[in-house]
Amino acid sequence: MIYNKVLSYILFAIVFFTSLEGVSQTIKIKGLVIDQSSKEPLPYATVVVADSETKKALTGTTTADDGTFVMNTKASNFYIEISFIGFITKTFNQFNLNNNTINLGTIALEEDASQLDEVVVQAETSRTEFKLDKRVFNVGRDIASTGASALEVLNNVPSVNVNIEGVISLRGSSGVQVLINGKPSILADDGGALGSITADMIESIEVITNPSAKYDAEGTSGIINIIIKKEERKGLNGSVSLNTGIPDNHSVGLSLNRRSEKFNLFTQLGLGRRSIPTDNENINTDLINNTELYNIGEEYRNEKFYNIILGTDYYINPNNVITLSGNFAYEIEDQPSSNRFKLYDENENLTSEWERTEVTEATNPKWQYELQYQKDYEDHEDHDLLFSALGSSFAKDLSSLFNDVTVAGDDNDAVQRTQSDFSEYTYTFKLDYTKPFSEQWTMETGAQYVLNDVSNDYQVENLVNNAFEVDEGLTNIFNYDQKVLGVYATGAYEGERWGVKAGMRLEHTNLQTLLTNTNEANNQNYSNLFPSIHTSYKFSEMISLQAGYSKRIYRPRLWDLNPFFNIRNSFSIRQGNPNLLPEFTNSYEITSIFDIGRTSLNFGVYHRYTTDVIERITTSQENVNITRPENIGVNRTYGIEFNTKYSPSNWLTLNADFNFNSFNRDGSFESQVFDFKGDQWSSKLLAKFKLPAQIDFEATGNYESEYRTVQSEVSDIAFLDLGLRKKILNGKGVLNMSVRDVFASRINESYTTQDTFLAYSYRNRGRFITFGFSYGFGKGEAMEYSGGRRY
């Protein structure tokens, strides 16, 4: 019944907002755009109508395959601007109006070689631009990204770090929500699944440290939005990429786009194979019995992956577009591992030694499909309505066989096998409406309804007397059902120097979990308000100031709540907590922006206050460490952030990123007090060199300081990435080589010191070397330029 009501409200809203058309007089504008030298038509040239006083675009279109264009406007004081990449722009301030029609006739554009060179440089170089409530990192073809996944590209984005486990953090906090094209995605929910998105597929990455009320309130430290490329030039365009590397990292990618007057067909294809070896070492010390368990081993994650994105835009007319798209990803995993265990008594005598081997196989099919409708109103380019219905599913069929073989001492022979049957279905319905009342005042409103239904059937069996018996203590079915309904409204004023945007979001959450074997249920039903406010002031063309506040929430995920995990290492076990409560964070920040000649510099300060902080607490008994998330008090974080870009010459560009935060923790769990203070900082320096013979070289140095957690000390990390690129085939082809973690120094190391036990952990994935080739084809050299603005 609730689904029918929601759909009825959505359909009513679409009809209502669609009826809000203006009634002023419409002027028709038409013409033909050609190349002055060849006299050939120029398809997909950009035609813009702009306000004569504010110089801001009011509406626009692109030319057809034959160079013609037709558009309408209701403006009265305007000029017309016609541009095309690599050509000198033409502007028309005077024209004849006959029967409400302006006929510009044939417009010949002249080539501009210097502009072509400039576009190529910008397309190759990643750069960051600032907007009122976010930063946009435009992904260029950086050399170190050759053959890289989305996770590795994210690690090059200012303020963002990705650790060796694939955990994404923003300004040192892992409570970040990752979106794809502005929407939740099953690929974003699973850090490993982001590996199926390659750097060649990414247009830009939006970093929103203080999201406005328009965005989902999920994610205590902010939002990262990955924008996937979709080529929109008319005609057939595309690119192909081939990559190979050591250890095994082989992939093929193909991007195709075909644009006509009514349809835009787009697809991304990718397939490959990769291997991720990991060396690990663990030491568990029991301070009560004075025993020590030492473990050293090697784990592999071998994957074959296939990914296809297929979609079409249907242009009903210049102001109404329907998009239907789908994404299918399929992974085949093979995870062999071998670990050697040694147990020492209180006198440091070896009492037992055994080898534990693992054979794990898994298949991971992922589906995502979306229907989207967008209406652009003619009275203003930013007056639009957007509705989307998004569905996704993810399944994981995983089986493991563990074999313990005694090497010396006490008998530890054992055989264990596990089976996981996991499924997740997510449905998201979203409606957004934007209405500018003038060039300065804008209102936004909308709603979102998200349904998330998950089931995980986990079974453990032990070999007893040559027959497998189910271990009832480690076996269960966990069901997770969450529904979140959100509505929001924002209002914004943006003048020439000063702007402000304020909003409010209301979200209602209904969460139900059930452990079927024990009939243990956890039901949470709550509503929350999430206010936000952002402001900016432009002192001059070179200096600006931004400030913002927002309230955020982190809702525990399935793996935070599910108490049954894979027992890959039976002496280091991770569990979930079905009674976990959500985190809430109030976030404040002020950022100054300087753009002086060859230098751009950004400096900011921020503060986060988080309640019901979720921390992973480790307990130990007889050398078995069990880690489980708990709500532990509050956290106050104060930080500073610094980003700069400096180009001392045409052949050298430097980018620097620095982040420091100090935190104060107050909390307790059971009888243990966890009050402490600490700080951490990270820095990144990127140097790009342009060498003769169209060769580029870049080096990226990263450093992350040591820091404290509730129970542990995490060691610092320093690592270096290198890249080399050579253009061939008149710039349409590119040869690349990249070396990530040159010195194999990206090591995760932690020490846990408690009254009853000590724990040491070490993990290292080593060096990755990749060779790549990419080639762009079609009109406009698709590899060099990502397309014009869409109207």
Question: Is pLDDT above 80 for 301?
Answer: yes
Output the pLDDT for position 761.
93
Residue range 346-362, pLDDT digits in tens: 999 999 999 999 999 99
Output the pLDDT for position 189.
53
Over residues 707-733, mean pLDDT: 87
**What single-letter DSSP state applies at residue 539?**
S
User: Which domain range does residue 100 map to?
Assistant: 24-112
b/e per residue, 299-319, with b = 16+ CB within 10 A?
bbbbbebebebbbebeeeebb
Distance CA 157, CA 147 (A): 17
Q: Is residue 222 part of a domain?
A: no
Q: 22-31, 326-335, 400-409, 733-742 — which is least confidently predicted? A: 22-31
Does 730 lie in the same domain as 593?
A: yes
Q: 39-53, 137-151, 236-250, 506-520 — which is least confidently predicted? A: 137-151
DSSP 175-198: -EEEEETTB--HHHHSGGGGGGSB
SS3 421: strand
Q: How confident is the model at residue 145 (pLDDT cuts 50, 70, 90)?
A: low
| CATH number of domain containing 88 | 2.60.40.10
Does 748 lie in the same domain as 603?
A: yes
Residue 217 contacts residue 195 (beta carbons within 8 Å): no
More confident residue, 392 or 647: 392
Q: What angle do CA 733, 739, 741 make, to 5 degrees?
A: 150
Where is the domain boundary, 80, 112, 144?
112
Sole residue written with tokens 């509050």 = 634
Q: Which residues, including other chains, have CB under 8 Å from residue 791's CB and lie 6 or more apart?
A: 59, 60, 61, 62, 318, 376, 381
Where is the domain boundary, 89, 112, 135?
112
Q: 31-35, 172-176, 481-485 — which is least confidently predicted? A: 172-176
Residue range 11-21, pLDDT digits in tens: 444 444 444 44
Question: Is pLDDT above 80 for 436?
Answer: yes
Output the pLDDT for position 298.
93
Q: What angle do CA 565, 569, 573 make, to 5 degrees?
A: 45
Sole residue written with tokens 């298949």 = 363
Strands 712-714, 747-753: pairing is antiparallel
Q: How confident is the model at residue 769 (pLDDT cuts 50, 70, 90)?
A: very high
Element (H, E) at 154: helix 150-154
Summary mean pLDDT of the chain: 82
Output the pLDDT for position 172.
60
DSSP 652-683: EEEEEEEEEEEEEEE-EETTEE--EEEEEEEE
Residue 152 contacts residue 145 (beta carbons within 8 Å): yes
Residue 586 contacts residue 549 (beta carbons within 8 Å): yes
Q: Is residue 51 part of a domain?
A: yes
Output the pLDDT for position 24.
54
Which residues, listed in sequence order, are joined to residue 436 by a DSSP beta bridge? 442
Residue range 179-194, pLDDT digits in tens: 777 766 655 554 445 6
Q: What angle do CA 681, 683, 687 make, to 5 degrees?
A: 180
Over residues 33-39, mean pLDDT: 82
Residue range 660-695, pLDDT digits in tens: 999 998 888 777 788 888 899 999 888 888 888 888
More confident residue, 313 or 365: 365
Strands 624-631, 572-574: pairing is parallel
Q: Which residues, including other chains, have CB under 8 Å from residue 465's CB and lie 6 or more apart?
A: none
Which residues, listed in sequence order, are joined to residue 434 by a DSSP beta bridge? 384, 444
Over residues 293-311, mean pLDDT: 90
Output the pLDDT for position 136.
75
Q: 63-67, 437-441, 456-460 — which is least confidently predicted? A: 63-67
% of the chain with per-residue pLDDT over 70:
84
Over residues 327-335, mean pLDDT: 91
Over residues 603-624, mean pLDDT: 88
Which residues, listed in sequence order, are joined to residue 524 by a DSSP beta bridge? 511
For the CA atoms of 510, 516, 521, 523, the dihedral, rounded to the nearest 10 degrees, stands at: 0
Q: How confident is the model at residue 408 (pLDDT cuts 50, 70, 90)?
A: very high
Q: Is residue 14 part of a domain?
A: no
Output the pLDDT for position 235.
58
Output the pLDDT for position 36.
82
Q: How confident is the model at residue 483 (pLDDT cuts 50, 70, 90)?
A: very high
Output the pLDDT for position 100.
84
C-alpha distance across the termini of the chain, in Å? 38
Q: Is residue 629 part of a domain?
A: yes
Q: Is residue 167 part of a domain?
A: no
Distance CA 551, CA 23 (A): 40
| CATH number of domain containing 275 | 2.40.170.20
Residue range 501-533, pLDDT digits in tens: 999 999 999 999 998 888 888 888 999 999 999
CA–CA distances in Å: residue 739 to residues 311, 697, 767: 34, 12, 7
**What single-letter DSSP state applies at residue 716?**
P
Distance CA 343, CA 345 (A): 7
Over residues 268-288, mean pLDDT: 91
Q: 13-27, 191-205, 378-392, 465-479 — which is least confidently predicted? A: 13-27
SS3 120: helix
Q: Is residue 449 part of a domain?
A: yes
Where is the domain boundary, 81, 112, 143?
112
b/e per residue, 625-650, with b = 16+ CB within 10 A?
bebbbbbbbebebbbebebbbebeee
Output the pLDDT for position 431.
95
Question: Is pLDDT above 60 for 115?
Answer: no
Nearest one of 195, 208, 211 to 153, comparing CA atoms = 195
Would you put residue 210 in left (φ > 0), alpha (ψ -120 to 50) or beta?
A: beta
Distance CA 548, CA 354 (A): 56
Specify the number of domains making up the chain: 2
Nearest one of 503, 504, 506, 557 to 527, comparing CA atoms = 506
Nearest one of 723, 627, 619, 714 to 156, comparing CA atoms = 723
Question: Is pLDDT above 50 for 375?
Answer: yes
Q: Is residue 128 part of a domain?
A: no
User: Which burial class, exposed, middle or buried, applies to 357 when counting CB atoms under 10 A from its CB (0-12, 13-18, 19+)?
Assistant: middle
Output the pLDDT for position 484.
95
Q: How confident is the model at residue 544 (pLDDT cuts 50, 70, 90)?
A: confident
Question: Is pLDDT above 60 for 784?
Answer: no
pTM for the full predicted model: 0.72
Over residues 610-617, mean pLDDT: 89
Residue range 199-233, pLDDT digits in tens: 666 777 888 877 888 888 887 667 888 877 655 44
More confident residue, 2 or 455: 455
Residue range 696-708, pLDDT digits in tens: 888 989 999 999 8
Q: Is residue 15 part of a domain?
A: no
User: Which burial class, exposed, middle or buried, applies to 100 when counting CB atoms under 10 A from its CB (0-12, 13-18, 19+)?
Assistant: exposed
Residue 742 contacts residue 721 (beta carbons within 8 Å): yes
- Residue 581 corresponds to which tokens in the numbers above? 């409560």
Output the pLDDT for position 112.
64
Output the pLDDT for position 114.
44
Question: Is pLDDT above 80 for 97?
Answer: yes
Output the pLDDT for position 184.
64
Output the pLDDT for position 118.
35
Output the pLDDT for position 130.
65
